[in-house]
A and B are shown apart, each in its own frame.
Chain A
Amino acid sequence: MRPLSADIVACPECDLLQRIPALSPGGTACCPRCGRNLATCKPGSLERTTALAVGAAIAFLITNVEPLMELSVAGRQSSTTIAGGAWQMWEQGERITALLIAFFAVIAPALQIGFLLAILLSVRRPPAPRWVGTLLRWVEIAGSWSMVEVMMLGILVSLVKIAALAKVVPGVGIFAAGGLILLLAAMSSSFDPREAWSRVRWVDGDWPQRALPSEGKDAAEAGR
């Protein structure tokens, strides 16, 4: 279980061994065989991602508190939030679907933002404790199930459907959701997991830098 230099990687999609060259700011390294993006040099990634994550947290709160849309027909009013939509599903007997909606549209994005903020704050002073590594794994899973942008398309379609029956007014929540989608996308793309991992303490309690020069021979061999 000897580790190699952090520069030598196997492409996660085709397993080709290669050395990641020194990248200029904004530069990207792609696998020569399958074209998968392996690393991008993102200067100031930690600060920028922290700012975007704070913004996303605020937009998330507004999205979930304010009504998404309001409807009035024949003098009767009705409005809904995301949680309200999930709750109505639950009330009407589709409980599994209700839980899924709540998970994809509320819980997963909340975890994604929360985990990322915790990671970003704790890797500022390396080496970061080991639980940061666990969070780095979870933030990826939470991100893959967070579907705010899909929900947005769903809201727009339902607005058009309902507009034929009644007067609908888009609420504050829908605009905040639009902002949240942009902030989430910017946040994920400015985050550099490779850098975060390099700042996390290893399983044996030691810290990475030692692996860089000492395993040079293996590394050179693998990199050819």
Chain B
Amino acid sequence: MTAVARTGLREGFVSCEACGLLSRPAGAEEPGECPRCGEELEFRRRDAVQRTWALVIAAAICYLPANILPVMRTTTLTSEEPDTIISGVVYLYASGSWYLALILLIASVMIPLAKLASLAYLLVTVQRGSARNNRARARLYRILEIIGRWSMVDVFVATFVVALIQLRPLMSVAPEPGVLFFSAVVILTIFAAESFDPRLIWDFSQGKQETDD
């Protein structure tokens, strides 16, 4: 092992994000296009930190209305009742399906929050030029990419409840704007994770200690 890890950036090679081919770029400023697939080459995803921050902040803003606004409204002969994400969880818990309540609580409330917090942590450490816990941070990023989609569960629940319970005038369920904010949170956090560049985590590591464990 050499003292400084040999990365594509340091040695002047660039790896294509689409097909993975490694090539020597046309120039340091303008790497040109991949000779195999024609995709535009980049040493690092462009403005990764700024873009990710923007998407994280946008998702955080949508997170509040997503949890406060009702996602659906149940109308029966005698009553009309709005349902938020949290009241859905409470309802499932109270009706005895505590495991489903737990799944929904994790998927809808905790995963988006954990994702936003983790992305903010990755961004801050990258901006500070930290070289510590690289492996753990790389693993954190990989987990973020996998779990994000599961937050969509509540939107699907609302969809199928609305689709089936259309028994007017007996009972009907209609969607409410909370659903839209909720989907926005999920999609924005997926885009945020995608616009972050995990190679930034490693760019500040000088020594070889992280290559040895």
Contacts and interface: CB of A to CB of B under 8 A. Distances in A.
A136 B20 CA distance: 12
Nearest to B34: A203
Contact of A97 (B9, B164, B180): B180
Interface stretch (A42-50, A58-66, A83-91): A83-91
B149 to A, nearest CB: 5
Contacts, number: 231
Interface of B: 5-9, 11, 13-15, 17-26, 32-39, 88, 91-92, 95, 97, 100, 103-104, 107, 134-135, 138-139, 141-142, 149-150, 152-157, 159-167, 170-171, 174-175, 177, 179-180, 183, 187, 190, 198-199, 201-203, 210-211
For chain A, give the interface size range.
35 or more
Contacts of A137: 18-19, 37, 39
Given A34-B134, A133-B19, A1 B24 contact: yes
A9 interface: yes
Contacts of B161: 158, 161-162
Nearest to B88: A161
A180 to B, nearest CB: 15
Contacts of A155: 156, 160
A67 B36 CA distance: 45
Majority SS of interface residues in chain A? mixed
Given A4-B13, A80-B160, A133 B38 contact: yes
Given A10-B13, A97-B179, A133-B36, A33 B21 contact: no
A222 B170 contact: no
A37 to B, nearest CB: 10
B170 to A, nearest CB: 6
B156 A101 contact: yes
B163 A80 contact: yes
Nearest to B12: A222
Interface stretch (A70-78, A111-119, A182-190): A70-78
Contacts of A84: 163
Contact of A197 (B19, B35, B203): B19
B157 A161 contact: yes
Nearest to A203: B38
B198 A89 contact: no
Contacts of B180: 94, 96-97
B22 A1 contact: no
Interface string A88-127: 1100111011001100110000000000000000000000
